[in-house]
Structure 1
Amino acid sequence: MDTGSTAWILTSAAAVLLMVPGLALFYGGMAGTRSILNMIMMTFGAVAVVGVLWTVVGYSMAFGDSYGGIGLLGNVTEHIGLGDLLAEDPDATVPPALFAVFQALFASITVALISGALADRIKFGAWLAFAALWALLVYFPVAHWVFAFDSDTVTGGWIANDLGAIDFAGGTAVHMNAGVAALAVVLVLGRRSGFPSVPKPGNLPLMMLGAGILWFGWMGFNGGSALAAGNTAAVVLLNTFNATCAAMLAWMLVEKLRDGHATTLGAASGAITGLVAITPSCGAVTPVGALALGAVAGVVCPLAVSLKYRLGYDDALDVVGVHMVGGLVGTVLIGLLASADAPNGADGLLYGGGFGLLGTQTVAALAVLAYSFTVTFAIAFVLDKVIGLRVEGHVEASGIDFAVHKELAYDHLVMPEAPEVTEDSAKEKVDA
C-alpha cells in the first residue's frame, strides 16, 4: 500500500465531491430565477440515486469480471454491496474501498450533467427515475468498456483493452456519454414554451462561483485518475490548467468577433469546455498540445452551441454543445496531438504516429455516441409513455421551483397566491 498515493486519491475524491455543489451552483446560476432550486435539486438528487445504485450493483457492473470475457459488462453480483472491498488488498496501491468511492463520484457527476439540458420542464420524480435507469443501462456498462482494465484475475472492457483507446479520465464515458444522452432526452421531452425566447440566467455571480468550484474539483477528477501521487498526476494537472485557460480565451474571442462583447457566461462556458476537452487527453499531450486542444475546443464549442437554434432542439444549458462536442474534440484530437513524451506514451499523427491512433479514438467515440443515444432515447420514450416526463403547462409558466418544491430562491419573488380559505371550504376539507 502506497500511503502517499492513498493520501492523494483521498484528497482527489474530496475535490471531486466538491464538484457536486459546484455543478449545482453552475447550473442553478444559469437557470431562470424561478428554476434555480430545481436545478440544484436535480444535481443532488442524481448523486443520491446513483450513490445507492453504485454500492448495490454499479461497481460490480463497471469493474467486475466481464461476462464471457468480451468486455461488455461486469459481473453484476461480483461485488454486490461492496462488503468484499473492506479488507486491505496487499497487491493494491490504494485501498479498494477508496477506488470504489472515487469512481462512484464519477458516475454521480456524469448522470447529474444531463440535467442541465432539461431545465424548466421535467418532473422531478421522472428525473430521478430516469437517473436510475440511465445509470443502470448506460453509464455502468460504458464505464466498464472504458475504465475497466484487464488484470491477472479480471477481464475488463473492450474499449480499454481490445481497442486500446486512450481516455484518461472520461471523455467518452463521462462527457460524450452525458452530452449525447442529453440530446436524446430533449428530443423526447420537447422544447420549452416560447423557445427560442427563454428565461435569462438568474444569477451570473453564482454561475461563476460554480464554474470556479468545478475547475478546482476537476484537478482531483483528472489528477486523481492517475491513481498515484507522482509525475503522471503532475503532468495531468499542468495540462488541465493549460487547456482550461486557452479554451476560456478562445470562447471569449469568438464572442467578441461574433457578438461584439465577451460575457461572464461565455468565460465560464469556455473554462468548462477546456476542462471537458482535456479530460480524455490530459495524459496524452504535451503542455503546448494542451493549449492547442483547449483553443480548438474553445472555438468549436460555442459554434456548436448556436446550432440548437438552427436545428430546433432545446438544450437549455448547453450540455450537448459543451460536453458532447467538447468530449468529442478532446477524444479525437488525441489521434493528432498525442506525444510519446506524455505519460500515455503514444504518438499521434502530428508526432509521426500515423493514422492508427486517430482511427482508434474515432471508433471509441462513435461507439459510445451510438450506444448512449439509442438506449437513452428508449429510456426517455418509455418513461414519457408510462409516467410522463414533462410538467404541466401552468407549472412551466409560473416557475418550477415553487410548484414542485414549494420554495423560492429569492424572497423578493412573488409566490403564487394561495386560494382563499372560507368556513365552508375548511369544513369540506375536514369532511374529506
Structure 2
Amino acid sequence: AFNTTDITFIMIATILVMVMTPGLAFFYGGLVGRKNAITIMMQSFVALGVSTIMWVLVGYSLSFSGDYYGVIGNLDYALLSNTSASTPSPVSPALPLYIFLAYQLMVAVITPPLITGAFTNRVRFKAYILFLVLWQLLIYYPLVHMVWGGGALMQWGVKDFGGGIVVHAIAGMSALASVLYLGSRKVKDLPHSIPLIAIGMTILWFGWFGFTAGNAFAMNDVAVVAFLNTAIAGGFAAFVWMIMDWNMEGKPKLVGFLTGGLAGLVVITPAAGYITPGASILFGIFAGIICYLAVMLKNRRKWDDALDVWGVHGIGGFLGITLLGIFSTLSVNNDGANGLLYGGIEFFKKEVAAVAIASLYAFLITILIFFIIDNTMSLRVSKEIEEQGLDKHLHGEKAYNK
C-alpha cells in the first residue's frame, strides 16, 4: 500500500527541485552582462521544456527500466508505457512510480543547465538545444542508470545520495571540457546585477532541501539527517568562502559568500543521507577552502569558465564523493556503507574510482558532443554578436527596456 505521508513529502520535494532551475536562471542571469542575461536565463528555462519531453519519451526508461550491460536501461517504459498510477517506484513499495518519476524529472531538468555557466556568451541557441539532447542521451541517462538505476556502479556498491557523481561531477567536468573546446569569450563581461544573483541563490538554497532530503524517498530519519546536514554544510561553506575572499582580496564579498554557500551545498549532496551532522561541518569547511582554491587555479590557468562551474560543481562533486568515502556510516543509514573512518577501505576506493571514471567519461564525451555539433551546425556566435550582446540577436528580447 502507498504511504500518503511519503507521497506528500516527495511531492513537496519535487516542487522544491523544480524551483531550482529558475533559481539557477536568476543566479546565472545576474552574473552575466545586461545584454546577455536573457540568453543564459533561456538556457536554464528551456530545459523545463526539452528535458521534460525527453524524460517522458525515453529518459526515465533508459535510466530506470531493465539493464543493458550495466550501462543503460531499455525502452520498456518509453512514453510511460507499462506504467499506471498504481505501479510502485523502484526505490520504495510505499511510493508510486509516477511521483518518483516526477522527482527524477526535476533532477534531470536542473543538471544540464549547470554547465551553461561555463560557456556563457558563446553558444548559439539551436546548438544548445542539440547539446541538451545529446548530453542527456550520452552522459546523463547512462550515469543515472549506473549509479541509481540498478546499473554497474550501483551493483558494485557505489553510493551517491543526491548526485555528487550523477549531477555535479559530470556537469562540472563537462563544463571544463566545453570551455577547452570553445575557447575564451572575445568580449569581457561583468555581472550586471548582484541583487539578482542573491535572489537566484536564495531560491537554489531553498530548493536544495528538497534536492537532498527528497532522496530519502520517505518521510523518515534519513530525510531528517539529510535535511539538517544540508543546512549545516551550506552555512559553514558560505562563511569560510567569505573569509577566504576577505583574506585574499581584502574585502568580504556578497557574491563570494553566496558562491561558498553553493559550494557547500554541492559537496554535501552525495553524502547528506549517509553522514552525521558533525561530519557535515567538515564537509562545509572543506567545500569553502578547496572549491575556492579550485577557482583560483582556474583563474591562473586562464580557463574561461565564466561562472566557475568546474571549481564549484566539478571539484565540489569530486570532493563530496571523496569525503563520503571517508565519513559514511551505517549508523545513520542502513542502505549506506561504512567509510574509511569506520574501516571501509574498499568502499573509499570504490567511491574515488567511480567519481574519477564518471568525470573522465563526461569530459571526453562532452568534447565529442561539441565536435559533432560544430560539424553539423553553427556552434559559436560571431564576435560582432558578442560585442553587441547575445540577447538582441538570439532572442530579440532585452532584459531591461529603458
Assess same fold via TM > 0.5: yes
1:430 is aligned to: none
Match of 1:158 in 2: 152
**Which residue, 263, 273, 279 being the options, matches 2:269?**
279
**CA distance in 2: counterparts of 1:271 and 1:124, whole angstroms:** 30
Give the aligned partner of residue 96 of structure 2. 95
Establish whether residue 167 from structure 1 lines up as the match of residue 160 from structure 2: yes
| 1:241 positional shift | 0.5
Equivalent residue runs for 1:63-74 within 5 Å: 63-67=64-68, 70-74=69-73
Residues 272-297 of structure 1: per-residue CA shift (max 9 Å, x gap): 10110000010121111001011101
In structure 2, distance between residues paired with 1:281 and 1:57: 29
The alignment yields a C-alpha RMSD, in angstroms, of 1.3
| Counterpart AA for 1:89 | T
State the alpha-carbon separation in 2 of the partners of residues 215 and 224 from structure 1.
14
Which of 194, 199, 211 pairs up with 1:209? 199
1:10-49 correspondence runs (5 A) = 10-49=11-50
Mean Cα deviation higher: 391-400 or 381-390: 381-390
**CA offset at residue 354 of structure 1?**
4.3
2:234 aligned partner: 244
- 1:349 aligns to what? 340
Secondary structure at 1:280 match in 2: coil
Is the Cα contact below 8 Å between 1:47 and 1:112 reproduced in 2?
Answer: no
The answer to whether the 8 Å contact 1:32/1:201 transfers is: yes
CA–CA separation in structure 2 for the residues paired with 1:137 and 1:264: 37
Q: What is the letter of the counterpart of residue 78 of structure 2?
A: I
Name the SS for the 2:117 alignment partner: helix
Q: How does 1:192-203 map to 2 (within 5 A)?
A: 192-194=185-187, 198-203=188-193
TM-score (structure 1 length as normaliser) = 0.90
**Match of residue 121 from structure 2:** 120
Contact between 2:163 and 2:269, CA under 8 Å: does it hold in 1? yes
One-letter amino acid matched to 2:332 = A
Counterpart code for 2:247: L
> Given that residues 213 and 273 in structure 2 are in contact (C-alpha distance below 8 angstroms), is that contact kept between their aligned partners in structure 1?
no
Deviation at 1:402, TM superposition (A): 1.1
- Measure how far apart 1:261 and its partner are: 1.0
User: What is the distance in 2 between the residues matched to 1:259 and 1:133?
Assistant: 40
TM-score normalised by the chain length of structure 2: 0.96
Query: Is residue 179 of structure 1 aligned with residue 189 of structure 2?
Result: no
User: In 1, are the aligned partners of 2:72 and 2:145 still within 8 Å (CA)?
Assistant: yes
Structure 2 CA distance for aligned equivalents of residues 377 and 74 of structure 1: 24
Shift of 1:253: 1.0
Q: How does 1:14-413 map to 2 (within 5 A)?
A: 14-67=15-68, 70-75=69-74, 77-89=75-87, 92-148=93-149, 156-161=150-155, 163-194=156-187, 198-343=188-333, 344-350=335-341, 352-412=342-402
Identity value in percent: 39
Q: Give a deviation string over 1:288-330, Cα, whole Å, max 9, x none.
A: 1001011101101111012222222210111111000000110
Is residue 277–residue 294 contact of structure 1 (8 Å, CA) maintained in 2?
Answer: yes
Name the CA distance, whole Å, in 2 between partners of 1:283 and 1:321: 24
User: Are 2:330 and 2:336, in contact at CA under 8 Å, matched by a contact in 1?
Assistant: yes
State the 1:345 CA deviation.
4.6
Structure 1 unaligned regions, length at least 5: 149-155, 413-432
Instruction: Flag the 1:404–1:345 CA change in 2: closer, same or farther, 3 A.
Output: closer
What's 2:4 paired with? Answer: 3
- What SS does structure 2 have at the residue aligned with 1:118? coil
For 1:61-105, what per-residue CA distance to the aligned partner results, in whole angstroms no more than 9, with x for missing partners? Answer: 1001102xx311101x21010133223036821111111111011
Instruction: Read off the aligned partner of 1:50 and give its amino acid letter.
Output: S
* CA distance in structure 2 between the partners assigned to 1:278 and 1:140 by the alignment: 22
User: Computing the radius of gyration over CA atoms, which structure comes out larger, 1 or 2?
Assistant: 1
Checking the alignment, whether the CA contact within 8 Å between 2:76 and 2:82 is kept in structure 1 is: no
Residue 333 of structure 1: how far off its partner (Å): 0.8
How many correspondences in the alignment?
397
Secondary structure of 1:117's aligned partner: coil
Q: Distance in 1 between matches of 2:318 and 2:34?
A: 32
Residues 129-175 of structure 1: CA deviation (Å, up to 9, x unaligned): 11111111110111101111xxxxxxx111112x2111001100100
